[in-house]
Structure 1
Amino acid sequence: MTENREAAGHGRLSVVRAGTHPDGLTVLDVEGEVDHQSVRTLARAMPPADATATDRVVVDLSRVTFMDSSGVNALIAAFHATQAAGGWLRLVGVRGAVLRTLQLVGLDTFVPCHATLQDALAAGERGA
Structure 2
Amino acid sequence: MDAEKAQQPRRLTVVAAATDGIRVLTVAGDIDHDTGDTLRQALDVSGLPRPRIVVDMRQVTFMDSTGLNVLIGTYKTVTAAGGWLRLAAPTENVQRLLRLVGIDTIIDCHPTLHHALTN
Q: 1:72 is matched with which residue?
A: 68
- How many residues align? The count is 112
Gaps of 5+ in 1: 1-8, 124-128
Q: 2:13 is matched with which residue?
A: 14
- Could you tell me whether the CA contact under 8 Å between 1:55 and 1:85 is conserved in 2? yes
Q: 1:52 is matched with which residue?
A: 48
Q: 1:5 is matched with which residue?
A: none
Q: 1:41 is matched with which residue?
A: 38
Displaced runs of 4 or more, over 6 A: none
What SS does the corresponding residue of 1:81 show, helix, strand or coil?
Answer: helix
Amino acid at match of 2:11: R
Q: Separation in 1 of the partners of 2:100 and 2:56?
A: 19
Show CA shifts across 1:13-69 (max 9, x none): 001102265x4x200000000000011110000034x45246100000000010000
> RMSD of the TM alignment (CA)?
1.7
Of the three residues 96, 104, 115, the one matched with 1:108 is 104
Q: Would you tell me which structure has more strand in proportion to its own residues? A: 1
Q: What is the TM-score of this pair, normalised by structure 1?
A: 0.80
Q: Would you tell me which structure has more helix in proportion to its own residues? A: 2
Q: Separation in 1 of the partners of 2:58 and 2:69?
A: 18
Q: What is the TM-score of this pair, normalised by structure 2?
A: 0.86
Q: Identical aligned pairs, as a percentage?
A: 46
Instruction: Indicate the structure (1 or 2) with the bigger Cα radius of gyration.
Output: 2
Gaps of 5+ in 2: 1-7
